[in-house]
Amino acid sequence: MQKDFKCCGAANYTDWEKIPTMASRVPDSCCVNITNNCGVHFVVKDIHTEGCVEKIAAWLRKNVLVVAAAALGIAFVEILGIVLACCLVKSIRSGYEVM
């Protein structure tokens, strides 16, 4: 996600300093040019300093119609499945009554 959105941490890259095992380093996905161990003893100019929360929120605002359409499409398929399952149960029950 950090690689795709060109961001680092939630608010910014200093969020990683709060994790004891990440002292003086960030994940390699924070680096502008990703190489193995590029986040160890990093230089600020070589990493993405902006946080991911704001970048993801901006992406969601930009793509709200696509996200909403996908959610409605999934909801429609789920409801259709429930309706068809109810029809199947009703059909099976009425078949037993005839026998």
Average pLDDT of the segment spanning 81-86: 98
Read off the pTM. 0.68
Judge whether residue 98 has pLDDT over 70: no
pLDDT at 5: 96
Which residue bears the tokens 């960030």? 26
- DSSP H helical ranges for 18-63: 52-62
Q: Which structure tokens are listed for 42?
A: 């990093």
**Mean pLDDT in the chain?**
93
How many alpha carbons fall within 13 Å on the CB side of residue 35? 5
**Eight-class DSSP state of 5:** H
Judge whether residue 24 has pLDDT over 70: yes
pLDDT at 97: 62
Helix and strand numbers (H, E) in the chain are: 3, 0
Give the pLDDT band of residue 23 (cuts 50, 70, 90). confident
Judge whether residue 84 has pLDDT over 60: yes
**39 against 95, higher pLDDT:** 39
Average pLDDT of the segment spanning 15-28: 91
